[in-house]
Structures are given as C-alpha cells and as structure tokens.
A and B are shown apart, each in its own frame.
Chain A
Amino acid sequence: MINMYEVAETNKMIEKENLDVRTITLGISLLDCIDSDLKKLNDNIYTKITTVAKDLVETGQEIEKEFGIPIVNKRISVTPIALIGGSACRKPEDFVTIAQTMDRAAKKVGVNLIGGYSALVSKGMTKADELLIHSIPEALKVTERVCSSVNLGSTKTGINMDAVKLMGEILLETAELTKEQDSVSCMKLVVFCNAPDDNPFMAGAFHGVTEADAIINVGVSGPGVVKTALSKVRGESFEVLCETIKKTAFKVTRVGQLVAQEASKRLHIPFGIVDLSLAPTPAIGDSVADILCECGLEYAGAPGTTAALALLNDQVKKGGVMASSYVGGLSGAFIPVSEDQGMIDAVQAGALTLEKLEAMTCVCSVGLDMIAIPGDTKATTISGMIADEMAIGMINQKTTAVRLIPVIGKGVGETVEFGGLFGYAPIMPVNQFSCDDFVNRGGRIPAPIHSFKN
C-alpha cells in the first residue's frame, strides 16, 4: 500500500519542483475532409475538429483535478495541410483561409495551439507544398493559435536544398510581417529533418498520415524534479548520477502514461504515445540548463556540456521507456534558449554560443530552438544554419529542428520578449561569413550511405 512518504514525494514534485504534464495533444486526421471546393473543405475541417475535440479541454481539466497534476496545455495536431488543401487551393491565399479555419476551430474548442499547417518536402515539393510554404508568413500573421512546420530532409531521402533555401527566405518574410511585435510569428514556425508523425509538442506537431483517425499523445515534463534529485547526489560518481536520472525519469514518465491512458479512456480515442521529454519553461527551477549545472558545469556551454547532455538524454530515455507502454515523438531533453532561464543566463554570461548549441543538438532532441538572431541576418545564412542542422539529423538518424527568430530591427545585445511559456531571449550573434554560393546551388543532398539498409 502507498505510504505517507511516497505521497509526500509526489506532491513535493508537483508543488515545489514544477512537475507537470506539458501537453495532451489530440491528433486528428483531416484526410476525410478533402474536397475540391475550398468553402466545403473549410467547413469540413471546422466540423471535424470541433466534433472530435469538443471534450478535450474539459476532460483535461477533469484529470487535472482528480489526480492533482497540472496539465499545462491542451492542443490539437492535424494532417499536414499541404496534403489536405492540394486539390482546393490554387494560390497561397486559399491556404491562408484554411489556417483561419484551424484558428477558429482551435478557439471554439479552447485549445491553446493547433499544429499541422505543414508540408513534408524532404525529397521534393508538389505545387501544393510550394503554395502552402509561400502562404506561411501571412497565415501565421492573421492567426493566433496556428503552428506551422516543414520537413526538409530525412535519413532515407537526403535534404531538399531547394526547400532549405526557400525556408530561409520564408522565415525572414514571416519575421518581417510581425516586426512590430518582435517578429513573434517565427515562434510558431519550425523546420525539421526526420520529423516524427506523432510529436505532441509545438510548434512542430502534426498528425502523420501513418496515424489512426484520432489519437492522444502526451508530453511530460520535469526538469525541476531531475535537478532536485541530482542535488542530493553531488560529488557522487557517474554511475550514481545516471541511476538517479533514470529513476527520476521513470517516475515523471509514469505520470504521463497515467494521464494519457485516462484521457484516452474518457475521450474514447486511442492512446498513441508518451513523449519522454524534459521540456523547460522560463519558471525558475524548471530548467534543463540547471540540470547540466547540477551535473557539475559552471554554466551550460562550458566544456563538458555536450557529454553531460548526452548522458542526461540517454538516461531520460532509459528510465522513460520502462515507464510507458508506447514511446514516441521527440523524446529527449529540449534545449530551447528563450524558454529556459538557465540557458538565457548562460548566453548572457558569454558561456553559450550558437556553435556550442549546434554541437549540443547532436546528442539531444530537438535542435536550434527558440533562438533570437539579428533581424539583418541574410536569408542564405539562415538557410545555411538550417542545412547544418538538417545534416546532423540526416547523418545521425535522428530528428533535428530549427526554430530561429530573426528579430527585425534588433541586433546583438538586445533582448526580445515573447511572453508566457515562450519567455524572453537575448539576441545571439551569427557567423558573418557567407554561404551564398553553397545555398544557391539548387537541388538536393543525396541520402546518406547508411540509408541503404534493404
């Protein structure tokens, strides 16, 4: 039987160490909404989302109350819209109407974000993919809750460099359209290599075509819990360090598994996966960088950071895999800069650079995430940064992503405020040397040799 000590431990994690379920994300297939008439398509999409997700928020709140665990976000992901809108949309503006429909549906059911304004173009772009990509800046400007993602490469297909080049331009255009609000729309746009079909986290969540009609995916979070556990084993060996992370990750993930199963049961929608993640927030004590410091580093970014992050990521997976019946999504430690107070401190102290962050992305999920860069950065430079990150994903057979915010009108040393869970970020310097001729070549980078496993 459960004893007082165990109850107190769980409640301390929730109350003092920011243990929470970061998101319940309901994946909804829109494949059955496809119609060649744009108005009909929009109506179908609105009806499908508002029908399937009508009880999502209420059920989430019920679970929160009954188990006493905060569920921070309730979200929706849908089938990549480039696939859904292909037959009805003739110009980018047509796609924008779908974004507006998604936004309306999200507001109607009360979710805070809806993902899936996406295109999967790892090998090539269809006409619809191109139209959707061109519509992204406007779509993100005129909507509040819509998130967009584009998959630019994979280990199986290589990297679509034409799309990489295009996304550099689109990112700047997106920044330009919301320059009055510190280019805030860029927070809702992410590019991927090896994007998973079942990721519950935004901005990159979409409901892959390999998925069922509707599915519940859950992302847990508990950097504060891991940090507190590690503070009790200071000075101990790596064996003790790793065991402690593993056991803590197990406990954190079990909560996610429980919430996922409950939500699935109550909504009568199958349970998909739990995403084993350490997702920070700007709240004090909810930081992945602080865990790295607890491992023995002065700041995140100091020599040893990549090794510390690698072991952290691996132990989180080892502990989490045992705790959940199905694991998927991005699974690992997130290192967004603006959403993590410890990361912000490290940047401001001069300990953490973009290059070090790139190295860190080789050993964890996801990639260059929530990084503010000067607004006068060239599109080709952004494409070059994207290409580097895509290459890391492609060669290492892992998911990588890039979510950069070129802040128009601001430069290195200035700060940009995003608000809420998104935090604030110091603008980081970008390598000024040119990669124009490389990015402008056109075509694609072939699939790596280890993709030929047949």
Chain B
Amino acid sequence: MKRTIITVVGKDTVGIIARVCTYLAENKINILDISQTIVQGYFNMMMIVNMEESTQKFDVIVSELDKLGEDIGVSIKCQREDIFDKMHRI
C-alpha cells in the first residue's frame, strides 16, 4: 500500500477538518491516522491516508487540495510518504 501524507497549515478557523475530510471521502481516500494541534493560533494537521481506492490521478488530487486550501485560507500539501520516510529513516 502506498501511503500519502497530507499536511494542512494555516490560520485556525471553523470547519477545516470537515472540509478536508469531506473532499477525501468524496474521492474515496481513506484516512489512516490524523494528528492535529494549534500552535499560537495556527492550525497544524498531518494526515496519513491511503489513496488506493481513489479513482482520481495523484496530480489532480494535489491540485484540487491546493485549491481547497486557498478557499479555506490554509496551505494544503499532499505528498507520497516515501520522501519523508527516506529522509528520516535509515
């Protein structure tokens, strides 16, 4: 299974998780893990998701999440887990 990391960073507001999760659900992306915290009024969230069931192409999801982030006023990034794994694990 190829896992993907979604990070959401930005000013806290109502409904960030709801909107991101709704998008993921609509695209059949399964959430495996969520961690979230508020640092000095800034919303930080990391999700580990599985995109195997998703019918959309990866780059489309990246672009759509980016656009969704713009709508909410946060930055949303969607990257394959490998880049973090390679960098931080031997």
Asked if B44 contacts A4 (CB within 8 A), the reply is yes
- Cβ–Cβ < 8 Å partners of A67 in chain B: 79-80, 82-83
Closest to A251 in B: B87
A205 to B45 Cα, complex, angstroms: 43
Bound together, the chains give a CA A255 to CA B83 distance in angstroms of 6
* B33 to A, closest residue via Cβ: A1
Residue interface bits A1-14, CB-to-B below 8 A is 1, else 0: 11110111111000
A2 touches B88 (CB 8 A): yes
Q: Are B58 and A65 in contact, with the CB atoms below 8 A?
A: yes
**B40 CB within 8 Å of chain A:** no
Q: Residue A10 contacts which of B44, B59, B87 (CB distance < 8 angstroms)?
A: B87
B80 adjacent to A66 (CB under 8 Å): yes
* B26 on the A face (CB < 8 A): no
| Cα-based distance from A209 to B7 in the complex (angstroms) | 45
Cβ of B11 within 8 Å of any chain A Cβ, yes or no, is no
A71 → B minimal CB distance (Å): 12
Q: Is A62 an interface position by the 8 A CB rule?
A: yes
- Please tell me which one of the listed residues A66, A254, A255 contacts residue B59 in the complex, with CB atoms under 8 A apart: A66
Contact assessment for B59 and A62 in the assembled complex, using a CB-CB cutoff below 8 Å: yes
A window 1-51: CB within 8 A of B: 1-4, 6-11
> Chain B residue with minimal CB distance to A67?
B83
For the complex formed, measure the closest distance between the CB of A145 and the CB atoms of chain B, giving whole angstroms. Answer: 26
State the interface size on chain A (CB cutoff 8 A): 22
Chain B residues closer than 8 Å to A65, beta-carbon distance: 58-59, 62
Measured CA separation A62–B82 after assembly (Å): 15
CB 8 Å contact bits of B61-73 with A (1 = contact, 0 = none): 0100000000000
The reply to whether B58 and A66 form a contact with Cβ atoms under 8 Å apart is: yes
Compute how far the CA of A67 lies from the CA of B37 in the bound complex, rounded to whole angstroms: 24
Q: Cβ of A118 < 8 Å from any Cβ of B?
A: no
Across the interface, which residues of B come within 8 angstroms of A9, CB to CB? 88
A11 and B58 contact, Cβ closer than 8 Å, known pairs A1-B48, A69-B83:
no
| Least distance between A59 CB and chain B CB atoms (Å) | 12
Give every chain B residue within 8 A of A11 (Cβ-Cβ). 7, 77
A8 to B44, alpha carbons, bound, how many Å? 10
B87 touches A255 (CB 8 A): yes
Decide if B46 touches A68 in the complex (CB within 8 Å): no
Closest partner residue, chain A, to B81 (CB atom): A2
Q: Does B53 contact A (CB under 8 A)?
A: no
Q: Which one of B58, B62, B79, B84 lies within 8 Å of A6 (CB-CB)?
A: B84
- Give 1 or 0 for each of A326-368: 1 = CB within 8 Å of chain B CB: 0000000000000000000000000000000000000000000
**Between-chain CB contacts (< 8 Å), 20 pairs:** A2-B5, A4-B37, A4-B44, A7-B7, A7-B46, A7-B84, A9-B88, A10-B84, A10-B88, A62-B59, A65-B59, A66-B58, A66-B59, A66-B62, A68-B79, A69-B83, A251-B87, A251-B88, A255-B83, A255-B86
- 9 more contacts with CB within 8 A, not counting A10-B84, A258-B86, are A4-B35, A8-B7, A8-B44, A10-B88, A68-B77, A68-B79, A255-B86, A255-B87, A258-B82
